[in-house]
Structures are given as C-alpha cells and as structure tokens.
C-alpha cells in the first residue's frame, strides 16, 4: 500500500476519529512508528478535531427531552403535563445535590492525587530494507525504567546463534541489554547508566552472537541493525 500524502491524510483523520479499525488500524500504527510525516499528520488532526468542541453552539433541549426526564424521575405524575421551565425547576435541586457530591469527591481526589511527572518515552522500530513490516517495535517507559521490544516480522537466528541488543553511546563502547527472543515480548529493566546513555544517544543496535550472547561483553558478530529512537 503506497503512502501517498492524500492517503496518509485520510487515514490519519480516520485514526483520530476512531473509525479506523482492525488490521488497518494496526498497520497505520506501525506507519506512525516508522514515519515522522505520518506522526505529524496525526498530531495535526488531533489538534484540528479537538477544537470542534469549542465551536458547538449551546442549544436548549426540546420539550420532549424534559418530559422524558420527568417521566423517569416521577413516574407517578407522568400523566400531568409540565412545561420545560417547570421541569427544569424541579430537576435542578436534584442535580445540584449530585453535582455538589461529585465536586466534593473530585476535591478529595485532587488533594490525595500525587503530582505525576511527564512520562517522557522513547520509541521506534527496527526495520529491514526488504521487509514490509518492522522486525521489532521498541518502546521505553520512564515510569518503570523498562525497554520493551515486541517481535513483529523478525525471524529466528541461525542455528547456534542469538540476537543481542545494544545501546550505542555517543562515545565509548556499546552497552549490552541482553539476548533478544523472537516471537515474544522482550522486556529489560534499564539501569541508571543504561537509561542515561540511551536518552543521550537514542541509538540501538542488534548483533548476531554465539548462543547465549557475546562472551566478551562487546559485539563479536556482525551488526545486523541500527535504529534511532524518537521521543513521544
């Protein structure tokens, strides 16, 4: 499927509206992981459609709405005709009690709720030129200090070999994050050093190593993939 500007714009709008479903939605989310152009289009539509709520004019509900509410609240008086204004006057005290109680609960929750720091995360995709789907999708969480790799189109390493994941620093030797399984979610808890290094370089690499990983603490086999992560 070609990623023409027109198609990206159309799919981004559908994605933000929530009308893009199933495999098409999953495929579009992979496009977002791979393409800054796609992400920009999604952000554009989120901002554009998010403004619609401010442009909707206030409208007074028709009489039938008030009568339906009155019938639910006071079924024994459903045969008596009541004007919308009278119904509103009767309903208002009831809803005022509900609103007051809700406000008190919200106030307590706001007092008790701890202040959360912004969740600055890195994510990206490990791709291969001749493969349409990404091999792995990568995401990092600043809250639990974990890096996650979800296998998508990756295939098992050759016999007697394993894939090993590395953080590539701006300066110095690569830092191993362990052997990566294929066909499953791989999670690794980042040390303070690893997290700091990753936040600075935002670069990961995958090498082909002997079974169990590199015996030296540095890549010994060929570097198969290198990818840059971006900040969400």
Q: What is the pLDDT of residues 159-178, one digit of tens each?
A: 999 999 999 998 888 999 99
Q: Per residue in 93-149, pLDDT tens?
A: 555 555 555 555 555 554 554 444 444 578 777 877 666 678 888 888 766 788 888
- Give the least confident one: 12-26, 88-102, 184-198: 88-102
What percentage of the chain exceeds 70 in pLDDT?
Answer: 69
Which domains occur in the chain, in start order? 5-52 (no CATH), 69-98 (no CATH), 122-231 (2.60.40)
Query: Which of the two residues, 227 and 81, has the higher pLDDT score?
Result: 227
Q: Per residue in 28-64, pLDDT tens?
A: 877 776 777 787 787 777 777 765 555 556 667 677 7
Question: Are 209 and 174 spatial neighbours (Cβ–Cβ below 8 Å)?
Answer: no
How confident is the prediction for the chain on average, in pLDDT?
76
What percentage of the chain exceeds 90 in pLDDT?
Answer: 16
Q: What is the pTM of this model?
A: 0.50
> What is the spatial distance between Cα 208 and Cα 216, in angstroms, rounded to a whole number?
13
pLDDT above 70 for 2: no
pLDDT band per the 50, 70, 90 thresholds, residue 8: confident
> What is the spatial distance between Cα 22 and Cα 136, in angstroms, rounded to a whole number?
20
pLDDT above 70 for 9: yes
End-to-end CA distance of the chain: 25
Query: Which of the two residues, 85 and 138, has the higher pLDDT score?
Result: 138
pLDDT at residue 209, rounded to an integer: 95
> What is the spatial distance between Cα 210 and Cα 224, in angstroms, rounded to a whole number?
14
Token pair for 130: 């001749």
The set of residues, in sequence order, having a beta carbon less than 8 Å from that of 115 and lying 6+ positions away, is none
Q: How do strand 161-167 and strand 175-180 relate by DSSP bridges?
A: antiparallel
């Amino acid at each position: 499927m070609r990623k023409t500007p027109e198609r990206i714009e159309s799919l981004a709008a559908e994605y933000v509206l929530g009308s893009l479903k199933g495999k098409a939605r999953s495929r579009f989310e992979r496009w977002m992981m791979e393409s800054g152009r796609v992400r920009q289009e999604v952000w554009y539509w989120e901002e554009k459609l998010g403004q619609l709520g401010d442009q909707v004019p206030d409208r007074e509900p028709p009489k039938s709405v008030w009568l339906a509410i009155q019938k639910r609240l006071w079924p024994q008086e459903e045969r008596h005709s009541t004007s919308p204004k009278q119904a509103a006057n009767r309903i208002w005290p009831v809803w005022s009690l509900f609103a007051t109680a809700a406000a008190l609960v919200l106030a307590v929750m706001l007092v008790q709720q701890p202040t959360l720091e912004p969740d600055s995360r890195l994510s990206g995709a490990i791709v291969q030129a001749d493969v349409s789907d990404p091999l792995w999708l990568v995401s990092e969480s600043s809250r639990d200090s974990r890096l996650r790799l979800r296998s998508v189109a990756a295939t098992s390493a050759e016999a007697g070999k394993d894939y090993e994941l590395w953080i590539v620093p701006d300066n110095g030797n690569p830092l191993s994050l362990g052997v990566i399984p294929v066909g499953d979610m791989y999670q690794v808890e980042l040390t303070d050093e690893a997290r700091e290094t990753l936040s600075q370089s935002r670069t990961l690499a995958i090498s082909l190593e002997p079974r169990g990983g590199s015996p030296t603490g540095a890549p010994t086999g060929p570097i198969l993939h290198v990818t840059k992560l971006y900040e969400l």
